[in-house]
A = this chain, B = another copy of it.
Amino acid sequence: MDLFPILQELHQPGGKILLVVLDGVGGLPLEPGGPTELEAAQTPNLDRLAAESALGLLTPVHPGLAPGSGPGHLALFGYDPFRYVVGRGALSALGLGADFREGDVALRGNFATLDAEGKVVDRRAGRPSTEENQRVIAKLKEAIPRIEDVEIHFYTESEHRFLVILRGEGLGDGVTDTDPQKAGLPPLEARPLDEASRKTAHILNLLAERIRAVLRDEPRLNGALFRRASQKPRFPSFQEVYSLRAAAVASYPMYKGLAALVGMEVLPVEGEGDAHEGKLKALRENWDRYEFFYLHFKKTDAKGEDGDFLGKVREIERFDAFLPELLALKPEVLALTGDHSTPAALKAHSWHPVPLLLKAPYLRRDEAGRFTEAEALKGSLGHLRGVELMPLLLAHAGRLLKYGA
């Protein structure tokens, strides 16, 4: 069900909305019956806020699906992640903060080790260090700035992984992967899947040859396998679908990139890491210029991925200490949630729902006393899906007319 045409039609002006995403904030106990990261954290400011807010449980994408940052965030932005798909190559480009333009084709690359006959010996080139990757990428940048009329841009990702962006006229992203998926076979030819992607396949095959030539003296990183070609998708913007002037306040490229995909203005943020002060400054200086702010914090997820339970607890407490500054901005509607769970116990994204907190006009009293998974269950908002959040925020901001008579 695409709600966008309905939301467009129901638009009316209203209050300011601040959506705060604590990346991967949902957790799990380390031992059965123990506290989650949110439960273990000392959060006096959040507790006070929860008491005067409404809570609910939010399943970001679908029960059982542990979403990546792309689907998780698109859902929170109201974009059905099964309909608004960002290709893997494009997501990598966003995550690296690459200069990735409309019409460009991004591909994920693996360095591989090939033998004298050109057969793959190791699909991951012995898992080189990221530094070695950078050294080889520098060679390729120097040697292969373009092929025919197509610019070639290389980016190190990590270990054996890199990204390549093709820029030129008439490039489609319908090409097959060149990774043969097992050793002992030569890399595959890239084949076009549609007429519009003939040139892409042609350039890609030339590129694979050129890379072999340039890297012929490398002992391990002497070949490349490509997969997941994708163009930058064109999504309707927040302005189009919600009539919102929207800004993103985030420190990491992936989140800036996702926000830019839905037409948010990405505000510059000073400082390193989660940069609490820099984010606050960006919010304050731009507060009057936008009607919607997306504010992202990364470290809760990063600590979860590290399996660092106490580190994640501390990041939650750091956010708690920062919260009064956010409240002082007095958004009409404040929502706080996560794009998915990242339990330290799993060291990975998980499918568990996340708590949602809503401070806004027109709330019902509810029994949830803290911003935790278990308390969220008692909240008056019930159990929602990620894509349902934006209509709810618009409603509480007074931005939606009645639907039907």
Q: What's the least CB distance linking A324 to chain B, in Å?
A: 19
Interface contact B388-A377, CB-CB below 8 Å: no
Interface contact B365-A66, CB-CB below 8 Å: no
Other-chain residue from B6, B66, B352 in contact with A402 (beta carbon distance below 8 A): B66
Interface contact B402-A67, CB-CB below 8 Å: yes
**A 74-118 contacts with B by CB, 8 A:** 81-82, 85-86, 88, 91-92, 95
Q: Encode A382-405 as 1/0 by CB contact (under 8 A) with B.
A: 111000111111110000111111
Interface residue A65 (Cβ < 8 Å from any Cβ of B)? yes
Neighbouring B residues of A377 by C-beta, 8 Å? 366-367, 378-380, 382
Q: Complex Cα distance A137/B351, Å?
A: 54
Interface residue A331 (Cβ < 8 Å from any Cβ of B)? no
Q: What's the least CB distance linking A152 to chain B, in Å?
A: 23
Neighbouring B residues of A172 by C-beta, 8 Å? none
Interface contact A393-B64, CB-CB below 8 Å: yes
Interface contact A405-B92, CB-CB below 8 Å: yes
Interface residue A364 (Cβ < 8 Å from any Cβ of B)? yes
Using known A-B contacts A362-B28, A377-B380, determine if residue A66 contacts B403 with beta carbons closer than 8 Å.
yes
Interface contact B391-A63, CB-CB below 8 Å: yes
Interface contact B374-A81, CB-CB below 8 Å: no
Neighbouring B residues of A403 by C-beta, 8 Å? 61-62, 65-68, 71
Interface residue A304 (Cβ < 8 Å from any Cβ of B)? no
- Chain B's closest residue to A83 (CB) is B1
Q: What's the least CB distance linking A72 to chain B, in Å?
A: 8
Using known A-B contacts A66-B395, A391-B62, determine if residue A36 contacts B364 with beta carbons closer than 8 Å.
yes
Interface residue A373 (Cβ < 8 Å from any Cβ of B)? yes
Neighbouring B residues of A351 by C-beta, 8 Å? 391-392, 395, 400
Q: Encode A341-357 as 1/0 by CB contact (under 8 A) with B.
A: 00101101111110000
Other-chain residue from B349, B350, B394 in contact with A362 (beta carbon distance below 8 A): B350
Other-chain residue from B362, B365, B393, B402 in contact with A374 (beta carbon distance below 8 A): B365
Interface size grouping (class) on chain A: 35 or more
Interface residue A29 (Cβ < 8 Å from any Cβ of B)? yes
Interface residue A321 (Cβ < 8 Å from any Cβ of B)? no
Q: Complex Cα distance A112/B362, Å?
A: 36
Interface residue A243 (Cβ < 8 Å from any Cβ of B)? no
Best-buried of A63, A351, A380, A383 by chain B (most CB within 10 Å): A63
**A 22-78 contacts with B by CB, 8 A:** 28-29, 32-34, 36, 52, 57, 59, 61-72
Other than the known A32-B363, A346-B362, A353-B382, what 12 A-B pairs have Cβ atoms closer than 8 Å? Answer: A6-B65, A32-B52, A63-B384, A63-B392, A68-B405, A71-B404, A72-B404, A86-B404, A91-B404, A345-B362, A352-B364, A367-B377
Q: What are some 27 contacts across the A-B interface (CB < 8 A)?
A: A57-B382, A59-B382, A61-B403, A62-B388, A63-B391, A64-B392, A64-B400, A65-B391, A66-B395, A67-B404, A68-B403, A68-B405, A85-B404, A86-B404, A88-B405, A91-B404, A95-B405, A349-B402, A350-B395, A351-B395, A352-B362, A352-B364, A365-B374, A366-B377, A367-B374, A367-B377, A377-B380
Interface residues of A (CB under 8 A from B): 1, 3, 6, 10, 28-29, 32-34, 36, 52, 57, 59, 61-72, 81-82, 85-86, 88, 91-92, 95, 343, 345-346, 348-353, 362-367, 373-374, 377-380, 382-384, 388-395, 400-405
9 nearest interchain CB pairs?
Answer: A64-B391, A68-B404, A382-B383, A64-B395, A64-B392, A63-B388, A71-B404, A68-B405, A351-B395
